[in-house]
Amino acid sequence: MAIAIGIAGIGGRMGKLLQEEVAAAGASFAGGSRRGDDPAILFAGADVVIDFTHAHAAPAHAAAAVATGTPLILGSSGLSVEEEAAVALAARQVPIVYAANFAPGVNLFLAVAERMAAALPPEQYDAEIVEMHHRQKVDAPSGTAVALGRAVARGRGTTLEAAGRESGRDGHSGARGTGTIGFAALRGGQVVGEHTLIFAAGSEHISLTHRSFDRRVYATGAVRAAQWVIGKAPGLYEMKHVLGMG
């Protein structure tokens, strides 16, 4: 029988595409929710729920997933430390796939970024991440940029928090810190999503860029994750697990 997929944020840019991709994948649409709706109703009627809404909605959606035993696919970006902790806690009781970016190419990019960072000494190669998105995006840096920063830090045997983030440089910002990870966020027009990771040394630069031209790539990936997560044990999964890259 076709799995029934619920969609939180059905009225949003991603919500509308997700509904189309649920149908295209041969799954059934279990209903959608909008801001202000009780998430318990959506979760109770679905085999799995996809949430591309807002960071602040993530804890309530994770709690509804636990209360109903319904797996959650979480794509919202800009979660605070506390919001991510609430999601991780819920994932002890129900399977959750939480990904900053559901595009396959980006997940390969994350793996390559980690390997590059492991090979390039932080004392010589400054890591800078530049992203550009449409003018409506409300959080910065993007979730994908943060995930790239985390991948670089992991490759260097540390964490993003320990390495230190440098973002929003303006005015007398001082010299760049050695080993820190820099972020720059551009906003304009209708750019779907562009991310560049630069390793800059005194005598050479290496950069890697990913561009999304159609946000449907995220919706297709999220529906794939929804089909994959059914029957999985409780845990916090990433897109690399769905893609078999874990």
Ligand X SMILES: NC(=O)C1=CN([C@@H]2O[C@H](COP(=O)(O)OP(=O)(O)OC[C@H]3O[C@@H](n4cnc5c(N)ncnc54)[C@H](OP(=O)(O)O)[C@@H]3O)[C@@H](O)[C@H]2O)C=CC1
9 annotated as belonging to a binding site for a ligand? yes
145 annotated as belonging to a binding site for a ligand? no
Q: Which is nearer to ligand X, 34 or 211 (CB)?
A: 34
Task: Give the contacts of 37 (CB within 8 A, at least 6 positions apart).
Answer: none
Phi, psi (5° rounding) for residue 178? -70, 130
Distance of closest approach, residue 150 Cβ to ligand LZUJQKHR, in angstroms: 12
78 annotated as belonging to a binding site for a ligand? no
Q: Which is nearer to ligand X, 77 or 227 (CB)?
A: 77
Q: By CB under 6 A, is residue 217 in contact with ligand LZUJQKHR?
A: no
Q: What is the DSSP letter of 56?
A: G
Query: Of ligand LZUJQKHR, ligand X, none, which one sits near residue 70, judging by CB under 5 to 8 A according to partner kind?
Result: none
Q: By CB under 6 A, is residue 16 in contact with ligand LZUJQKHR?
A: no
Q: Please, are residues 126 and 182 in contact by the beta-carbon 8 Å criterion?
A: yes
61 annotated as belonging to a binding site for a ligand? no
Active site positions, annotated: 133, 137
Element (H, E) at 68: helix 58-68
Q: Which is nearer to ligand LZUJQKHR, 185 or 236 (CB)?
A: 185
Binding site for ligand X (CB under 6 A): 8-9, 11-15, 33-35, 52-54, 57, 75-78, 99-102, 143, 215, 218
Sign of the four-CA dihedral 105, 187, 189, 138: positive
Binding track over 85-104 against ligand LZUJQKHR, x by CB under 6 A: ---------------xx---
Q: Give the whole-angstrom CA distance, residue 225 versus residue 157.
A: 29
Q: By CB under 6 A, is residue 107 in contact with ligand LZUJQKHR?
A: no
Q: What is the C-alpha R_g of the chain?
A: 18
Q: Please, are residues 70 and 90 in contact by the beta-carbon 8 Å criterion?
A: no
Burial 51-87 (b: 16+ CB within 10 A, else e): bbbbbebbbbbbbbbbebebbbbbbbbbbeeebbebb
Q: Which is nearer to ligand X, 57 or 163 (CB)?
A: 57
Residues of this chain that interact with ligand LZUJQKHR (CB under 6 A) are 77, 100-101, 133, 137, 142-144, 193
